[in-house]
Amino acid sequence: MLRKKLTIYPNVAIEADSIVETIDFTAIFQHSGPVEMEVGSGKGTFLVAQAKAFPKVNYLGIEWANKYYKYAVDRIGRWQYENVRMLRTDAAEFIEKFVPDTSIQKFHLYFPDPWPKKRHHKRRFFCDENLAQLHRILGPNGIINVATDHENYYEQMTEVARKAVKAGTFKEIDFIRPAGAQEGELVGTNYERKYIPEGRRTHTLALQKL
C-alpha cells in the first residue's frame, strides 16, 4: 500500500531556524487575538478540533517527533485553518528563550512522554523549572490544562502543582474539557482513544495563574 504523501504547508509550518528573537505572535498569525499553546501536538487532533470551535483564538502547536509534526502540518493545512501554526523544536528551550511574558492565554499538555525509567525523569516536561516558565508566559488568570495516563508521572505533576499552589503562584481549578472530546472522553486525542479500550485511566490537572 502506498503511503500518503504529506504536504508541508508554509502557512502552517514555522521553521525553527527562522526564530532568532522573541516571537511576535501577531506577525506569526498575521492578526491579533488570544494565543494558546499545545506542547506535544501529535497528529494535531486537539488543534484541529479547537481551531474549528474557536476561530478567533490562535493556536501554536509544538511537536518534536518529525513524523507526527509533518502529519499535523498536512492535516491542518488541508482543513485550511488560518488560526493554527506548528513548530518542530524543543519546547522547553523555545519557551524559555523566545516566548514573551504574559503572551499565552492557555497552555495545553496532553499525554506527554512519561519517560518511565527513573534515570529519565529529568526529561519530563512538567517540572518545577518549566512551570515557572509557564507562569511567566501566561497572561493574567492564564490556565494550564494537563492530562496523562501515566500514574507515576501524574504523581509528579500533582507534587509540582502542590508546591506552586503553596507558593501562591497558581491555584488549582477544574480541568477544562476540550472541544473535541466525545462522549466518554475527557480530552479527545488519539492517545486517549487508544487507551480507553485498554482500560487505562486518564488523570487530569488544571491550574490558573495568580
Among all residues, which ones are annotated catalytic? 113
Distance of CA 120 to the CA centre of its chain: 21
Measured from the Cβ of residue 116, the count of other Cβ atoms closer than 10 Å reads 11
Distance of CA 126 to the CA centre of its chain: 11
Taken as a whole, the chain contains a residue count of: 210
Please tell me the distance from the alpha carbon of residue 145 to that of residue 32, in angstroms, as a whole number: 23
Measured from the Cβ of residue 35, the count of other Cβ atoms closer than 10 Å reads 23
| Angle at the Cα of 134 from the Cα atoms of 131 and 138, rounded to 5 degrees | 145
